Structure 1
Amino acid sequence: MKSKIELSPQCTSQLRAIGDTMELLSGKWKIQIVGTLLLNGAMRFMELKRALNGIAPKKLSNDLQELETNDILTRTVKETKPITVEYELTAHGRTLENLINEAMDWGFKHRQKIIE
């Protein structure tokens, strides 16, 4: 019978923080949405859809709503004709910049390693 491994409170806390981050940014598109807004600033729905080649409108809408609920981005309805909606990262959302940049750097290096 295996004995139960006791994790330190610090390790438990760190694993919970990693889990929270992964839950929020999980899926194929959320990190790409945040990265696109980091690189381009405020964007309209169709601009995001075009930038994220292959995303279904419903998926984009759902992910944007979840990111808005978690204070990662804001949704602003503009008083234009026709009405337009812009999405922009919040100050809290911009704190993901280092994480996104590290993921990009790792992705470039990984792709290069696999191609070799």
Structure 2
Amino acid sequence: MKEQQAKCKTNVMGVKDSMSILSGKWKLHILGTLLMHDKLRFMELQRILGDISAKVLSKELRDLELNQLVIRTELDGAVVAVEYAISPFGITLTPVIQALANWGNTYRKEIIQQMEKNKG
């Protein structure tokens, strides 16, 4: 029984730690987008994500960089340009993000089917 409780406590702690790093409206969107692209500049990323302000995107990218999920690279040139890429540590989230996407797609289909069923 104590072994099971210890395992449960460890799992809960792991989920809590993960959620503290990944929580928020945009972090998983940002990571998923960077997983699909090699590197993106700030404005490219903002355009792909859509309805996100520069201030929010900047904050989320800073958090992801601090947690070593994203790599920020300043490019040489007359104008300061910055590229963002997923880090090796961030790449380890690929199966998690893919599982969430699959779950969301399945759930959305079921909700739409249920709504159509209730109309008729």
TM-score with structure 2 setting the length: 0.88
By how many angstroms is 1:47 displaced? 0.7
Aligned residues: 110
Cα distance in structure 1, aligned partners of 2:31 and 2:96? 10
Cα distance in structure 2, aligned partners of 1:20 and 1:41? 27
Structure 2's unaligned 5+ residue stretches are 114-120
Q: Deviations over 1:22-81 (max 9, x none)?
A: 111101100000000001121000011111111111110001000000100110000033
Structure 1's unaligned 5+ residue stretches are 1-6
Match of 1:16 in 2: 13
By how many angstroms is 1:9 displaced? 1.4
Cα distance in structure 1, aligned partners of 2:12 and 2:111? 29
Question: RMSD over aligned Cα, in angstroms?
Answer: 1.1
SS of the equivalent of 2:51 reads: coil
Amino acid at match of 2:39: A
Cα distance in structure 2, aligned partners of 1:32 and 1:21? 15
Match of 2:90 in 1: 93
Cα distance in structure 2, aligned partners of 1:73 and 1:27? 16
Match of 1:107 in 2: 104
Match of 1:60 in 2: 57
Amino acid at match of 1:95: T
Q: Deviations over 1:3-31 (max 9, x none)?
A: xxxx7111111100001111111011000
Percent pairwise identity: 39
- Is 2:43 the counterpart of 1:46? yes
Instruction: Report the structure, 1 or 2, having the larger helix content.
Output: 2
Cα distance in structure 1, aligned partners of 2:38 and 2:20? 24
Cα distance in structure 2, aligned partners of 1:105 and 1:80? 41
